[in-house]
Amino acid sequence: MSQEYFDVWRLAVTPVFRDEGMLRQRYRMNGDHPVFAGHFPGYPVLPGMMQLLFVFNTAGIDQQILTGSIHFEKCKYLKMILPDEVFEVACLCTTTGNTTKLAASLHVENELASSFRIQFSPTTSAIL
């Protein structure tokens, strides 16, 4: 699969903006995007993993932080995001020491579609 498949920043409708202390960005995925071909045939919806990529992009989470420990405290999917729908991602990141906590939500027309609480920590490996 090409890198362009995962470059979600290309699908942004607005640049990242700050509102009420949260980072926000709006996106839209065209119905002809390959991710919809298999999820689900005949009834395409935006996969949860793609929703997480949009969250990471909006929050500015880079690949380096994703190489550590990731703990999903909450992943809740309430409404399907359909092809060509504009959706907004809202994120709040806090960092204490080496741990980053991310609270995020996706909304379609002001209706909550999904929400996440994720904690990132560096991984240490021991050589035995």
pLDDT digits (tens, 9 = 90+) for 27-54: 999 998 888 888 888 899 999 999 999 9
Domains of the chain: 3-8+17-121 (3.10.129.10)
Per DSSP, the three-state class of 88 is strand
pLDDT value for 65: 65
Which amino acid is present at 8?
V
Return averaged pLDDT per consecutive 10 residues of the chain, 128 residues in all: 59 90 94 88 92 92 74 96 96 91 96 96 57
**DSSP conformation letters of 51-82:** HHHHHHHHHT--TTGGGSEEEEEEEEE-SPPP
Of 123, 106, 103, give the one whose Cα is nearest residue 114.
Answer: 106
pLDDT value for 94: 92
